[in-house]
Amino acid sequence: MSASPVRVRVEALSPAHASAARHWAERLGLAQEGEAEFALQLGDDGLQLVELGPGAPGPVRVDFVEGAAAHRRLFGGGSGQMIAKAVGIQSGVRPQVLDATAGLGRDAFVLASLGCTVTLVERQPLIAALLEDGLARAARDPEVAPIVARMRLICGNAVEILQTWTETPPQVVYLDPMFPHRDKSALVKKEMRLFRPLVGDDLDAPALLAAALALASHRVVVKRPRKAPCIDAARPSHQLDGKSSRYDVYAKKALKG
């Protein structure tokens, strides 16, 4: 569920980006002036979201070409990664995945880089804007473009989208609901601080799991902090445990090549 409304303004970081910033402001219904707690900024490196005020962490943006995404793509372990095993990637099997809680798209990008076709659903318009901008910039990079071509973004309420889905059902629905994370990495702490006022906790996670189980043709995968309870006490078919997180797998039908 969304947290209390916060004030966000749109800023161009240079005159060259003024027109595009105006377009984002109009599209998102945001002001370009006045007091605000957050700013959506547009510059040479793309769109970024930053908390304003003293002591605030740095900006957050989506970058599928460089940084952490590039390192994981090149050195992350390929199909041996736990998320790959959770969604059912195996020899000759690359499931069609619907990531219903896309966030900054990191998990979706990993799955797409391994050959899956991924539909991303993000309900928070500002986060969806960061994702859209990141996908557009990645599509201009020759090395990454074939990967993001397998990624499609939908902005909207995931429960409603899943309940009214009219296309071929995805083989796998992937969920990573917002949770009071205990991850101590600076990156996660920065993002949690930034996004928590905007999105709050996912209090409708039980409804989202129910919609996912009704839609997925083969399995639902839920990412959780390692010691967190299962959503709505629903018992998964099996679990994959990591150091800080785990994957609850709800199997409906075997994935075959």
What one-character DSSP code corresponds to residue 253?
A: S
- DSSP assignment of 56-69: ----B---SSSHHH
152 is in an annotated binding site: no
Compute φ and ψ for 69, nearest 5 degrees: -65, -40
Residue type, 251: A
Report the C-alpha gap between 219 and 237 in whole angstroms: 10
Report the C-alpha gap between 149 and 163 in whole angstroms: 26
Report the C-alpha gap between 31 and 11 in whole angstroms: 9
45 is in an annotated binding site: no
27 is in an annotated binding site: no
Q: Which of 232, 205, 26 is nearest to 100 (CA)?
A: 205
Do the Cβ atoms of 208 and 77 come closer than 8 Å? no
Give the residues across from 241 on adjacent strands: 246
> Which residues neighbour 19 within 8 Å (Cβ) at sequence distance 6 or greater?
none
Number of Cβ within a 10 Å radius of residue 88: 21
66 is in an annotated binding site: no
Compute φ and ψ for 151, nearest 5 degrees: -115, 130
99 is in an annotated binding site: no
Residue type, 237: S
Report the C-alpha gap between 122 and 101 in whole angstroms: 6
Give the residue ranges of the annotated binding site for S-adenosyl-L-methionine. Answer: 106-107, 122-123, 176
Give the residue ranges of the annotated binding site. Answer: 106-107, 122-123, 176
